[in-house]
Structure 1
């Protein structure tokens, strides 16, 4: 038997522990073309909150009384697939549980000599690819332009800012603690950073972006996103990756109308999800791996130890507790 985490109630507002339930279920036996994977790391991500609502979106909602799924890194303990051997380290979208039976098409091998296994849930995984495609395909930063990133100390935002620096941009990050501000400037090389909890964001943006804003990578929404709009330059680009400020709202989000700002500046504002770029994942992964090996991008993790702490780690996302990628360590790789 093994432990598993299920969604048993759809959250109203901010999720609580009562929305989840631990269950004991059989480990399962792989059939032909399948493998049994022991969970090593579980990715906890803000977008999972949307899947807990019974509403149409870009991905189907979680079913009640069913296991929650997200990015997982694990080790093959039994294989009935010619593509995988025992002890292979793999990643895929798997359940919040201690073991998963996975079809060979649902997982891929990862190279732990290139980077630690957990990196494949962050800088070399979906969050890194989200940053890569959103910034480069929609944002298209040019040398000397100004790029502003909200949620800049998170898993996506931190990579966005570093890629923008690789492209020669002036980079300003927005985050929510002095620790995160110091990390962005001293460790990641951002040109400036704004603590939205202690500074007036509009005033701070005017001071740190004297030439206006050419690219705004949107992770947060709300008042922070609104503060950017008056500073947009002609033909500015706004990749819209997330809006975490509104994820737990009980009513529809309200705010400024953006149309006038977009018309005046001929700006582009485009929403996206990483799945839009599935055909380019190999290219993106290679580019990110290259920058990582060259020391041009780095990453930070907030690691929570123990499967029993998975729910707590997820809830902490909405308190801004994580620096970089939030993951849960379930077991050791042998």
Structure 2
């Protein structure tokens, strides 16, 4: 009897420890949300929207910008952080889908080193050109490119893979010109130094609305509500374009499941608010919450697609 009672007490004690290590009294201090890109970027804006919306239940969430090396510096720092729920990272197609295709040794495994909390949004990309360009559709662009390769600009990271994928899928030969980020590429497009750019909708929507650029195709499955005149890639004659640009939330591998579940619940609740969806829409994003399991499966599938597309496009990992 004494042995049984002792085992029960031990089990209760272990249960209390597990609760303390789970989501019991969590969070007891501010949570740090690492954004692996600079202040003012779309990723930074998304992180601050999330931080503000979950503040009531999760307490203070401090956004920490650790930019550099296509997101490797910030993301890698979280991979090495304590899995206690007090360090999270804003993930993306750049840091968790295309990174393996661009770098042989990024310093972290995008799947094994993290537990995915959930997806925040997907970001359509738009193929854009100047209004005075000699082509008005993606098919006309491709036809002209087969006669004389286009000066095709792209930003760094995932934009490089997306740009190369379009050239491959559309059979549109291009003289690819890399940029450190998408905004400088748009500046040169407006100035006539390049012929076209495939950029995040959040980067080009204001130029499209103002009539400074023309949208030739968008990568979403349906036309965007804010850009109804821009056809989808499939409608534009490029049905094989299957890359998804996305942003999500993750924690270091080993973070207790109750904490992951709590964050997923609060994230989904925040994204269900019309005002939050509207804020994301103004950035050219579509709120797309899912479960941790779904996000893990999605991230794996997209990694395989991005790596395969990169290989087909002839991009060599550094």
Settle same-fold status: TM greater than 0.5.
no
Q: Which TM-score band (shorter chain)?
A: 0.3 to 0.5
The higher radius of gyration belongs to 2
Report the TM-score, using the length of structure 2 for normalisation. 0.35
Higher helix share: 2
Report the TM-score, using the length of structure 1 for normalisation. 0.34
